[in-house]
């Protein structure tokens, strides 16, 4: 039997249209976008077109789109770049981050505490997707502050109330960053309607190339670069531009936004089908963030009576079902996820499985995955 | 063919074990145990279980086309192996962490997770054989007597033995390397790991200092003869093991050996080689892979890795195993293993609690 890939939230294959769009910029149109000559102009023109396409897809101005080298870099630039830019005022700035942020945000924030350059408040999130707004309001009230609240949580698919955060921050005069890596192409992200100041996205979650990403920087937002060198990306991200990557990212975003409605409806149906199958065949199973609004592509469940969540993922892999627990980590060993800790507390002993659906997913895939899960769970409980 | 879980350290032995099982047509699943926090230590590349070991195991698994996973056993390993290692030295004993790991951590975890992964069989690259026949299953010494590792396996759960495979049991180290080269395994010429995996620098006293802080085991004490005569000073009894030859400058021209460590006075007792001989061994923390021996029966016992087997008579079993050796042996060391064999067959073993000397006592009462 063919193995089944249900880990699209971890990464996706580059789609044909993206690869085709990129190809010329790897070979014939290879110039350095900053060069004066025709090679340079051709590359520079492609880069600006890519920027305009990204801006149009997200409801931004081209001048507000900075290309960076991935989601992690984008998050770091947002938090640390903002912190650097406001530090000049003298007051200790505040970073208010939700407890379920990606480690790229959480660890960037923590690093500022370690070097004493910012204060960090971690804002609780309920399993229903509600932020502790009292805490957030309090946190943003004193001195310069940036709230960093992700648009869609990567481990559970939970949609966070970014629009509400923008409103609340507006009252306090604080800035808002949102990591939208899992949101683009899954839920509407329109920067004219939700006026965050900073927004991060990456190519490889939406069938674009790995190592590509962007940071949206709303006109007038304070931000300083973290790297130094040439003046590329308006000085915010020096380094010779990855034109092929930018073209790939732009194509991927354009297609993701164009196909959003249809694909989201299809994935929602598949996710419901998977959820029904799992709930009807496995005792002691819980859907994570069940009461929250959820993005269509993620289904995270917690299964009782299995002391070892990592063994469950390995067993599923051996049965040909590729899924995740939470975030993947360097050595491949797994530990309790900070998201599950934040949502359900430290005494909640369940094995977590995250199924994430994508363009290649079919009804037969989710049926087989549900069957395999039930079989493996039964075997593990008997062991 | 059945699904086999094979423990891969990233060394040549377990690499070839995995390759041979795959060659034989088994559905092989490779795992590497992550045993301790690597960031705590710097120089770790020469030990079997470092992150490099994980990377090498992954490369080999990819090359032979089998899945590979990392089992995080850090918590259990710290508790059952490292904490025990430190506590044993603090008590003036000489621990055997590899025995402890095999019996308490590694194979128990392999067994539990193997079940979860649907693996009927558990394999490792140990130089030992396992015999499955109508009479049951038994672990035997490896064919390569120079490498034989059955000694390290006495603590395994008895109900695991029927599910064990040791693909290298009939091979010599040279044959293993040659075969690994033939298959082009990246680990074919990797040097042997000599150190204890969680003491990559080789200086275990450094680990003790970090874990124990200020402790009598690390403070100076007297070096004394059996009659109480002080012949020198040492810088912490944790640095000594029974049988260790202690070259003392000046006073004594004869070679002296550590006879005993007395934590209560911090004294290290030294003496002549013949004073080292013991013929009575009291063994605790027993584990039997088949029926325990009966009092009065004859057994073969191995008291150190690579030491020749000694013949012994079992005096007591129920109230703690006491063995009387036919011939006295040097350096019977508390904390080390007493491993019981019947010829090649591993029967079980335990930890040496103390050693006595019927001869010495006889001499003392004269």
Which ranges in chain B are annotated with CATH 2.30.30.280?
219-274
Place B301 in a pLDDT band, splitting at 50, 70 and 90. Answer: very high
B155: pLDDT strictly greater than 70: yes
Alpha-carbon distance A348 to nearest alpha carbon in chain B (angstroms): 19
- Mark yes or no for CB contact A379/B29 under 8 Å: no
| Tokens read off for B77 | 């390993």
Q: A residues 262-301 near B, CB within 8 Å?
A: none
Q: How many CB atoms lie within 10 A of CB B252?
A: 15
Q: Which CATH architecture has domain B219-274?
A: Roll (2.30)
User: A254: closest CA among A23, A48, A59?
Assistant: A59
Lowest average pLDDT, out of B113-127, B172-186, B190-204, B242-256, goes to: B242-256
**In chain B, whose CA is at the least distance from the CA of A320?**
B67
CB nearest B72 (choices: A310, A312, A317): A310
pLDDT tens digits along B47-58: 444 567 889 999
CB nearest A380 (choices: B3, B71, B116): B116
Collapsing DSSP to helix, strand or coil, A28 comes out as coil
Which ranges in chain B are annotated with CATH 3.40.50.620?
3-182
- Chain A interface, best mutation among B108, B114, B117, B160, by max A CB count within 10 A: B117
Which residues of chain A have a pLDDT value below 50?
A: 327-334
Average pLDDT of chain B is 90
Mean predicted confidence (pLDDT) in B241-253: 70
What's the CATH number of domain B3-182, 2.40.37.20, 3.40.50.620, 1.20.120.1200, 3.40.50.2020? 3.40.50.620
At the top level of CATH, which class does the domain B277-365 belong to? mainly beta
* Predicted model pTM: 0.88
Please report the domains of chain A, with CATH numbers, ordered by start residue: 4-12+260-382 (3.90.1150.10), 16-258 (3.40.640.10)
- Residues of B in CB contact (< 8 Å) with A are 3, 29, 34, 51, 54, 67, 69-72, 112-113, 115-118
Could you tell me which residues come within 8 angstroms of residue B300 by beta carbon, excluding any fewer than 6 positions away? Answer: B309, B310, B311, B312, B340, B341, B342, B343
CB nearest A318 (choices: B72, B112, B118): B118
Mean predicted confidence (pLDDT) in B160-186: 96
Q: Is A315 on the interface with B (CB under 8 A)?
A: yes
- Mark yes or no for CB contact B67/A315 under 8 Å: no
Return the number of CB contacts < 8 Å for A and B. 48
Give the pLDDT of residue B34.
87
Active site residue A290: no
Lowest average pLDDT, out of A303-307, B106-110, B251-255, B336-340, goes to: B251-255
What is the strand order of the sheet B230-234 is part of? B230-234, B221-224, B267-271, B256-262, B245-246
- Mark yes or no for CB contact B54/A311 under 8 Å: no
ipTM value > 0.90: no
User: A330: closest CA among B335, B215, B18, B38?
Assistant: B38
Mean predicted confidence (pLDDT) in B70-99: 94
CB nearest B29 (choices: A318, A380, A383): A318
Q: Which residues of B touch A315 (CB under 8 A)?
A: 116-118
Give the pLDDT of residue A42.
97
Spatial separation of the C-alpha atoms in residues B346 and A243, rounded to whole Å = 66
Give the pLDDT of residue A332.
44
B41: pLDDT strictly greater than 70: no
Give the pLDDT of residue A196.
98
Q: Which residues of A touch B70 (CB under 8 A)?
A: 331-333
The answer to whether B297 and B348 are in contact (CB under 8 A) is no
């Amino acid at each position: 039997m063919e193995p089944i890939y249900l880990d699209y939230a971890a990464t996706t294959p580059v789609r044909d249209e993206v690869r085709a769009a990129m190809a010329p910029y790897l070979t014939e149109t290879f110039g350095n976008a900053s060069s004066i000559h025709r090679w340079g102009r051709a590359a520079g023109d492609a880069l600006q077109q890519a920027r305009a396409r990204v801006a149009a897809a997200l409801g931004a101005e081209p001048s507000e789109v900075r290309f960076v080298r991935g989601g992690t870099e984008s998050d770091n630039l947002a938090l640390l770049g903002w912190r650097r830019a406001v530090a000049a005022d003298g007051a200790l700035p505040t970073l208010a981050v939700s407890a379920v942020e990606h480690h790229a945000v959480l660890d960037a924030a923590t690093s500022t505490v370690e070097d004493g350059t910012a204060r960090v408040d971690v804002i609780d999130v309920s399993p229903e997707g509600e932020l502790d707004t009292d805490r957030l309001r309090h946190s943003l009230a004193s001195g310069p502050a940036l709230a960093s609240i992700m648009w869609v949580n990567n481990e559970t698919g939970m949609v966070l109330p970014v629009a509400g955060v923008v409103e609340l921050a507006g009252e306090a005069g604080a800035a808002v960053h949102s990591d939208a890596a899992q949101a683009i192409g899954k839920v509407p992200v329109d920067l004219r309607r939700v006026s965050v100041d900073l927004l991060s996205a990456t190519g490889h979650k939406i069938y674009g190339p790995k190592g590509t990403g962007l940071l949206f920087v709303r006109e007038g937002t304070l931000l300083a670069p973290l790297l130094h060198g040439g003046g590329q990306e308006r000085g915010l991200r020096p380094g010779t531009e990855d034109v092929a990557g930018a073209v790939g990212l732009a194509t991927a975003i354009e297609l993701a936004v164009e196909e959003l409605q249809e694909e989201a409806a299809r994935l929602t149906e598949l996710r419901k089908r998977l959820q029904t199958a799992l709930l009807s065949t496995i005792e002691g199973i819980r859907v994570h963030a069940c009461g929250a609004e959820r993005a269509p592509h993620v289904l995270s469940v917690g299964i009782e009576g299995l002391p070892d969540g990592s063994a469950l993922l390995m067993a599923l892999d051996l049965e040909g079902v590729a899924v995740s627990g939470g975030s993947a980590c360097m050595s491949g060993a797994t530990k309790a996820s900070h998201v599950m800790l934040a949502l359900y507390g430290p005494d909640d002993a369940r094995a977590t499985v995250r199924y994430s659906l994508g363009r290649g997913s079919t009804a037969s895939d989710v049926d087989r995955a549900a069957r395999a899960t039930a079989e493996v769970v039964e075997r593990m409980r008997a062991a | 063919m059945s699904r086999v879980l094979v423990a891969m350290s990233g060394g040549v032995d377990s690499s070839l074990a995995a390759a041979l099982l795959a060659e034989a047509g088994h559905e092989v699943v490779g795992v590497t145990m992550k045993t301790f926090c690597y960031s705590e230590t710097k120089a770790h590349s020469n030990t079997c279980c470092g992150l490099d070991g994980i990377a090498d195991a992954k490369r080999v698994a990819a090359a032979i086309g089998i899945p590979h996973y990392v089992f995080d056993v850090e918590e259990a390993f710290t508790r059952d192996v490292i904490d025990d290692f430190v506590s044993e030295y603090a008590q003036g004993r000489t621990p055997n962490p590899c025995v402890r790991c095999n019996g308490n951590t590694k194979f128990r975890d392999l067994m539990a997770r193997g079940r979860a992964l649907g693996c009927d069989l558990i394999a490792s690259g140990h130089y030992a054989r396992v015999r499955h026949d109508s009479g049951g299953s038994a672990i035997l010494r490896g064919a390569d007597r120079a490498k034989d590792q059955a000694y390290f396996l006495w603590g395994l759960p008895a109900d695991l033995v029927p599910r064990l495979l040791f693909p290298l049991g009939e091979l010599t180290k040279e044959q293993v390397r040659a075969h690994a080269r033939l298959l082009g395994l990246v680990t074919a010429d990797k040097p042997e790991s000599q150190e204890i995996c969680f003491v990559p620098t080789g200086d275990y006293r450094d680990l003790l200092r970090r874990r124990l802080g200020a402790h009598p085991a690390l403070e100076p004490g007297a070096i004394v003869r059996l009659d109480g005569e002080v012949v020198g000073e040492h810088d912490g009894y944790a640095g000594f093991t029974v049988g260790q030859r202690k070259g003392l400058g000046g006073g004594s021209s004869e070679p002296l050996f550590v006879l005993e460590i007395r934590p209560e006075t911090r004294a290290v007792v030294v003496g002549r080689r013949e004073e080292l001989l013991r013929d009575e061994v009291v063994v605790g923390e027993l584990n039997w892979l088949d029926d325990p021996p009966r009092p009065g029966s004859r057994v073969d016992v191995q008291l150190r890795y690579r030491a020749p087997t000694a013949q012994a008579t079992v005096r007591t079993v129920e109230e703690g195993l006491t063995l009387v050796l036919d011939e006295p042996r040097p350096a019977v060391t508390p904390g080390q293993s007493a491993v019981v064999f019947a010829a090649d067959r591993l029967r079980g073993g335990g930890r040496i609690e103390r050693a006595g000397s019927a001869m010495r006592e006889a001499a003392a009462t004269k």
